[in-house]
Amino acid sequence: MSLRPARPLWSLRRLRSASTRIRTAAASALLLGLGACTPSPPRPSDPAADAPDTVILVVGCTLRADRTNVHGHDRRTTPYLAELAEDGAHFTRTIANSGWTRPTIAAITTGSHPVRMGLDDGKHRAIAPSFTTLGERFQDAGWTTVGITANPNANPIFGFDQGFDQYQGTNALFREGLAIRPGVDVIEDFIDMIDEVDGKLYGQIVLLDAHAPWLVNRWNQLRQGHLPTRKRKDVYDAALLDLDRALMELDRRLDELGRGDRLMVVVGDHGQGLRTPRWAGQGHGTLLYDAHVHVPWVFHGPGVAPGHEIGGISQQLDMVPTLMAMAGEAAEDGLAGADLSAAVRGRADKAPPARVLSASRVRKADEIRLTTEDWTVLKARGKHKRPRRVSQELFRTDDTIQAHDLAKEERDTLLRLLIEVETAWREEHRQAEIVPVGVTDEQQELLTELGYIDD
């Protein structure tokens, strides 16, 4: 019979537990002192309102759905966006058509698949003039069009200024010691650009706050109820609060300009792995799990049904027909995406069945994915070493963290969907219009610092 030594009263585990409780209590007390109130949106959505004369599309770069309050995250990351969703409409499951910025913003703003534009590839390519952007559509309809981006992937050199009366790109990622240009500064420039605009306005803004490299925003972490850490998830969550603050500032400034009765649309371009779950890796671009492609999509303003949650599967290609319809403007038939404006107006509770192709060829990865109502299939075709060391995976679509790979159990379904996703990609690629472009050394450095180009 052996005797265990008596455990000390304050074991290491107990010390850690006590330390955690003290840290949490201290952060909570400080949170109360800092204040946690969130202003409400300027006006409630009104489904019976006339078409708006101000439409603002905000693309939140690296905006992962399940880290937002819209999709139930318990940490205070996007309280203002959640207010917009609660007083407007939002889609529960919007899937990005790629895993990184240039192809996804192209999908959002043209309604054409990024493979067909050659933009799923990490090579320097631009939107071909034959693809019509939202800027061109609104401009042709008589609207003044103004755009700004904090992400160089959406700079004019890549064709994103097509159709804009004013468009401001970025050539200064690092400014005054800040890793990312703050969204509130981007909003300030945007407001200056539209200050003299009369009549109908279409504004398009790309915010970069949630994109790495991040600084550790200690104040935001305190506001979120914990003492500062350098853990990737904590730093990312704190950055989301900066993006959310930019949205609130945008609404405040629009109201000052007499454009408070605007249609605001907020969508993510892609997500971020954050090692949550661990097989999602740290970043984005090279993998297409839900952590990387499930993004929020929120509508608020005239014509929008308040408090409306829209189920089913939607995709970024649906933005063009839906937004044009909500603005009271026509969009031609035959677009790749679906017009979901009836759902946004409250006339449907679910998007119609969709089969969403996502594709990403960046750095060493070559990944394709098909998302249906029932299944999600992923196929890795490149040399990129994936966390699970397998190249074909099959999941139930409601397995939103891709925890249970059913590739072996559902072999027939796997093979059928692999054929379908490969055929869909090849058909888009067969019709691709590729426009190579050259970038300056400065732009190359910016893209490298953002992680899109290997050193």
The candidate with the shortest Cα–Cα distance to 249, out of 106, 454, 38, 103, is 38
pLDDT of residue 265: 98
Q: Which residues of the chain have pLDDT under 70?
A: 1-42, 172-179, 453-455
The per-residue DSSP string of 180-221 comes to S--HHHHHHHHHHHHTT--S-EEEEEEE-TTSSSPP--HHHH
How far apart (Å, rounded) are the C-alpha atoms in residues 21 and 454? 42
The DSSP code for 390 is -
Give the separation between CA 77 and CA 242, rounded to whole angstroms. Answer: 9
Alpha-carbon 188 to chain mean position: 21
Q: What are phi and psi of 375, to 5 degrees?
A: -130, 155
| Nearest CA-CA partner of 450 in 27, 151, 73 | 151
> Which whole-number Å values give the CA distances from 354 to 65, 270, 349, 437, in the listed order?
19, 19, 15, 33
pLDDT at 432: 93
pLDDT tens digits along 443-454: 787 777 777 765
In angstroms, the CA 132 to CA 139 distance is 11
Tens of pLDDT, residues 257-289: 999 999 999 999 999 999 999 999 999 999 999
The structure tokens listed for 244 are 């959310």
**What's the confidence (pLDDT) of residue 355?**
97
pLDDT, residue 172, reads 62
Long-range contacts of 274-280 (CB under 8 A, 24+ apart): 274/64, 274/67, 274/232, 274/233, 274/236, 275/232, 275/233, 276/233, 277/401, 277/402, 277/403, 278/387, 279/387, 279/388, 279/402, 280/387
User: How far is C-alpha 322 from the geometric centre of its chain's CA atoms?
Assistant: 17
For 215-251, letters b (16+ CB in 10 Å) and e give eebeebbbbbbbebeeebebbbbbbbbbbbbbbbbbb
**Predicted TM-score (pTM) of this structure:** 0.89
Gap between the terminal Cα atoms of the chain: 61
Q: Please tell me the predicted confidence (pLDDT) of residue 299.
A: 98
Cα–Cα distance list, 317 to 265, 338, 374 (Å): 14, 7, 20
Examine residue 302 and say whether the peptide bond preceding it is cis (omega within 30 degrees of 0).
no
pLDDT value of residue 216: 81
The string of DSSP letters for 314-362 reads EEGGGHHHHHHHHTT----TT-SS---HHHHTTS-SBPPP--EEEEEB-
Nearest of 112, 65, 96 to residue 285 by alpha carbon: 96
Task: Please give the structure tokens belonging to residue 185.
Answer: 């500064």
Q: What is the pLDDT of residue 40?
A: 57
Please tell me the predicted confidence (pLDDT) of residue 168. 96
DSSP H or E run through 368: strand 367-371
- Residue pair 47/305 in contact by the 8 Å Cβ criterion: yes
Q: Tell me, what's the pLDDT at 41?
A: 60
Query: What tokens does 131 get?
Result: 């693809």
